[in-house]
Amino acid sequence: MANADTIQVLVTWSPQPREVQRWPLSLPAGSTLDDALRAAGLLPLLDSEQGAALQVGIWAKAKPRDTVLRQHDRVEVWRALKVDPKEARRQRYRKAKG
């Protein structure tokens, strides 16, 4: 169990479709989104050329990297969409329909 000086967060990243990496972290209270990304080892990726196309957020909402985290936040790193989700569903439906 965490004490009042630490918070538990989960960092998630999907480097490619159908693959998700997760890092459960215990961080000092007052830590930011950037601190969690650093602890998970993702900061170099975000600061790279490839990282320019990535977004970060908490619980599916984009947030600035200086956002202070709260207990049990889920930090997410998103890749840019290559296909519109509605179009992807249409394509899967057409393919399944035969």
C-alpha–C-alpha distance, residues 50 and 17, integer Å? 16
Residue-level pLDDT, tens digit, the chain, 98 residues: 556 799 999 999 988 878 899 999 999 999 999 999 999 998 788 777 766 778 899 999 999 989 999 999 999 998 876 667 788 788 888 888 86
Distance of alpha carbon 51 from alpha carbon 90, whole angstroms: 29
The predicted pLDDT at position 94 comes to: 86
HEC letters along 10-47: EEEEEEECCEEEEEEEEEECCCEHHHHHHHCCCHHHHC
- Take residue 73 and report the two structure tokens written for it: 């936040």
Backbone angles phi, psi at 30, to 5 degrees: 90, 0
Q: Which CATH number fits domain 6-97: 1.10.287.130, 3.40.50.1820, 3.40.50.300, 3.10.20.30?
A: 3.10.20.30
pTM for this entry = 0.75
* pLDDT at res. 23: 96
The domain locations on the chain are 6-97
Looking at this protein, which amino acid is placed at residue 7?
A: I
